[in-house]
Amino acid sequence: MVNPMTTQNPAVTPAGLLAGIREARLVGIVRGNDGDAAAKAALAAMAEGFQYVEIALTTPHALEAIREVRAAAPAGCLVGAGTVLSEADVERVTAAGGQFIVTPSLAPSISEAASAGIPVLAGALTPSEAYEAMERGATAIKLFPASIGGPGYLKAVRDPFPDIPFIAVGGVGLGEATGYWEAGAIAVGLGGPLFGKASSGGDLSEMRDRARSFLGLAAEFVARTGTSS
């Protein structure tokens, strides 16, 4: 069972997270080899305007980083945990203050988090996996790795499932993001193309420049299409 510490996040609901991500169009993905650097990178991205950032549990001291980011995040910004696989992972993340979880696959964490009302961005690649993840209670599908088929594959997967919200993750850079949005992705998830080496202690100023570029691109797309959903 999930720890009652989930009451740390009373304002975060699956519907609320989904609506926010639809509007923002961007999710930051921090994965590095230094928890302190990961926290600094996440907070720097938030300072530039990223509202949704996950910190992968494969990052050393990831839970401490989540606690740090949760305590210092600007108003309106949410921190989640990535690579959340087990029921125990869900409990640890919520105890650390994580506000949503992200999985790379059809993991037991999906049903565990969903049953506790915790938003879940569930990893899936095939139509069958996407359907199964939603049946388990996923808030949205993280199409991963999206680069295996590109925007054309996303469009093909969406055709039989027009109501499933997809977030394209994996190999999505500044030159690819618009194609995924045009193919129907509600957002793109950005790891290396955004953070580079910043989450392992690299240059934050270059990462901030990339963040502004992605934010500008998203704003241009929304302005051009006249919608954020």
The active-site residue out of 23, 48, 54, 129 is 54
| H runs (alpha helix) in the chain | 14-24, 35-48, 62-72, 87-95, 109-115, 127-135, 150-158, 177-182, 192-195, 204-225
- Alpha-carbon distance of 101 to 81, in angstroms, equals 5
Q: How many CB atoms lie within 10 A of CB 48?
A: 16
Residues present in the chain in total:
229
> Residue 215 is encoded by which pair of tokens?
């934010």
Q: Which residues on neighbouring strands pair with residue 28, listed in sequence order?
A: 53, 190
Q: Is 197 a catalytic residue?
A: no
Query: How far is Cα of residue 74 from the mean position of the Cα atoms in its chain?
Result: 17
The active-site residue out of 87, 135, 142, 155 is 142
Q: Which helix (H) or strand (E) holds 30?
A: strand 26-30
Of 26, 97, 75, 28, the closest CA to residue 56 belongs to: 28
Name residue 200's amino acid.
S
Q: Is 40 a catalytic residue?
A: no
Q: Is the dihedral of CA 178, 33, 54, 73 positive or negative?
A: negative
Q: Which residues are catalytic?
A: 54, 142
